[in-house]
Amino acid sequence: MQQTLHLGQTLSFDGNPFHDGFAAARHEADGAVLVEDGRIQAVGPAAALKAAHPEAARIDHGDHLILPGFIDAHAHYSQTAIIASWGKRLIDWLNTYTFPEEMRFADPAYATAVAETYLDLNLSNGITTAACYCTIHPESVDALMSAAERRGMAMVAGKVMMDRNAPEGLRDTAQSAYDDSKALIERWHGKGRLTYAITPRFAPTSTPSQLAAAGALFAEHPDCAMQTHLSEQHEEIAWVQELYPESRDYLDVYESHGLTGPGAVMGHTIHLSDREWDALKDSGSGIAHCPTSNTFIGSGLFDMKRAQSLGISTGLATDVGGGSSFSMLRTMATAYEVSQLRGTALHPAELVWLATAGSAEVLRLEHDIGRLAPGQMADMITLDLASTPVIAQRMGRASDIWEALFATIMLGDDRAIAKTYIAGAPA
């Protein structure tokens, strides 16, 4: 197979910067990534790789920074059209905007059109993989998975399960949710680069019988992902206590139904008790941090420092459309601001890790994506560190890569994404 040498600045990681320090990051100002048959074969200094592989085709990205593609650990593709809807609290937002829009996904043509738009927006923002909530309609899963498969993308997605506290037309049953999800697992899980996610929306919209059905599916298919929402807002937590009075706390609802453990991704996790923090750690469950959503809907400030000190796998997420941007750069910037408000300044290396390797780890895809490293799929982006006049003038005063990168994180948008590659092919 033809080898291709991508030349530019490179940023790779030997370890997790939260635990191993910033020395875990490897920056090459004149670096290269060797790609063959869709996978990365080598990363290192350009001179060495050019000498070792003189026959390789070359793509020169100049001063652009080559990174792994961004990985969105929690999003609702069905909310693409209602992003940036005027500020409501969570329950109001669902009833006013989300549920009416999701009703439309019973129409396969509509679901397909939104799926195409959603993936195009992701790719233009350098997001090469996402974990998506679809709607209760199996057609919504078929639309997204088909569109991702055509693009050769790694995608994690599943049919939402809801059998109460939702409008007529957006409710299934415990049995139909199980049957539909099982059929979708057989149709899509492991096909190409696709992963199915068992997806009870959140405890208030599922009866105990439905959560038990979801837990049974997770036990039967432990290599699937499981995604849901946890402790996003105080009103939500109080509602869960009313609906599940026998449970110790919100997380216990999921624990008691077999919905925690490796592969379980809890969205938000803002207002946790000490017991819940410890239980997340002990179970091996992961967290999807959704900073733009948490600020936009007024949910609260996620405690990144505590999650990392406990060693809980944590990824970064746009939470489109409760999240206010498709840009992972904007999401990283808000994650920085949220942590600042909690008294912790995240380093650019930590922000990049969360948006790439961290999210891959949460989704149990770290063996395949999330880093520039031999054996990884060549899902990559090239980042223009001078994409706008204001960024360019700031970058011109940067003393090192971290200052330059931080300016793009804080000020950048889709204009900073110069190229996006899926398995080595331009997207």
Pair 376, 296 in one domain:
no
Instruction: Name the residue among 115, 134, 67 with its Cα closest to residue 360.
Output: 67
Domain end call among 362, 393, 410: 362
Going by their DSSP bridges, the two strands 127-133 and 155-158 should be labelled as: parallel
Could you read off the pLDDT of 149-198 as tens digits, one per residue?
999 999 999 999 999 999 999 999 999 999 999 999 999 999 999 999 99
Pair 139, 274 in one domain:
yes
Domain end call among 333, 362, 391: 362
The conformation of residue 377, written as its DSSP 8-state character, comes to B
Could you read off the pLDDT of 13-28 as tens digits, one per residue?
999 999 998 889 999 9
CATH number of the domain that residue 392 is part of: 2.30.40.10
Q: How far is CA 29 from the centre of its chain?
A: 28
Confidence of residue 276 (pLDDT cuts 50, 70, 90): very high
Pair 76, 57 in one domain:
no
In whole angstroms, how far apart are CA 128 and each of 93, 99, 247, 254, 327?
Answer: 28, 27, 38, 29, 12
DSSP result, 232-254: --HHHHHHHHHH-TTSSSHHHHH
pTM over 0.95: yes
Pair 207, 354 in one domain:
yes
Collapsing DSSP to helix, strand or coil, 280 comes out as: helix
In whole angstroms, how far apart are CA 183 and each of 29, 108, 180, 392?
Answer: 49, 17, 5, 51
pLDDT at 91 > cutoff 80: no
The H helix count followed by the E strand count for the chain is 18, 16
Instruction: Name the residue among 172, 237, 183, 157 with its Cα closest to residue 207.
Output: 172
Residue type, 175: Q
Q: What are phi and psi of 268, to 5 degrees?
A: 85, -75
Residue type, 390: V
What burial letters (b/e) apply to 254-282, b meaning 16+ CB within 10 Å?
bbbbbbbbebbbbbbbbbbeeebbebbbe
Of all residues in the chain, what percent carry a pLDDT higher than 90? Answer: 92
Instruction: Name the residue among 347, 341, 352 with its Cα closest to residue 315.
Output: 352
Q: Which domain holds residue 304?
A: 70-362
Confidence of residue 285 (pLDDT cuts 50, 70, 90): very high
Could you read off the pLDDT of 223-273 as tens digits, one per residue?
999 999 999 999 999 999 999 999 999 999 999 999 999 999 999 999 999
Could you read off the pLDDT of 354-370 as tens digits, one per residue?
999 999 999 999 999 99
Within 8 A by CB and 6+ apart from 148, the residues are 119, 154, 155, 157, 193, 194
Pair 164, 263 in one domain:
yes
In this predicted structure, what is the pLDDT of residue 182? Answer: 98
pLDDT at 140 > cutoff 90: yes
Pair 74, 46 in one domain:
no
Pair 196, 243 in one domain:
yes
> Which pair of structure tokens corresponds to residue 418?
């110069």
In whole angstroms, how far apart are CA 372 and each of 10, 40, 67, 377?
Answer: 8, 7, 7, 9
pLDDT at 90 > cutoff 70: no
> Which pair of structure tokens corresponds to residue 11?
């940023």
Domain end call among 318, 334, 362: 362
pLDDT at 106 > cutoff 80: yes
**Averaged over 365-389, what is the pLDDT?**
98
In this predicted structure, what is the pLDDT of residue 95? Answer: 77
Pair 124, 219 in one domain:
yes
Q: Which residues pair with 419 in a beta bridge?
A: 382
Q: What is the count of structural domains for the chain?
A: 2
CATH number of the domain that residue 267 is part of: 3.20.20.140
Pair 204, 63 in one domain:
no
Pair 332, 383 in one domain:
no
Pair 216, 109 in one domain:
yes
Instruction: Name the residue among 107, 10, 90 with its Cα closest to residue 49.
Output: 10
Could you read off the pLDDT of 298-348 as tens digits, one per residue?
999 999 999 999 999 999 999 998 889 999 999 999 999 999 999 999 999
Q: What kind and span of H or E run contains 7?
A: strand 3-13
Averaged pLDDT of the chain: 96
Pair 302, 400 in one domain:
no
Instruction: Name the residue among 123, 17, 42, 192 with its Cα closest to residue 380.
Output: 123
Instruction: Name the residue among 67, 55, 56 with its Cα closest to residue 31.
Output: 67
- Is the CB of residue 324 less than 8 Å from the CB of residue 290? no
The CA-CA-CA angle for residues 316, 294, 274, to 5°, reads 80
Sign of the dihedral through C-alpha 84, 89, 95, 98:
positive
Q: What are phi and psi of 256, to 5 degrees?
A: -70, -15
> Which pair of structure tokens corresponds to residue 263?
């592969």
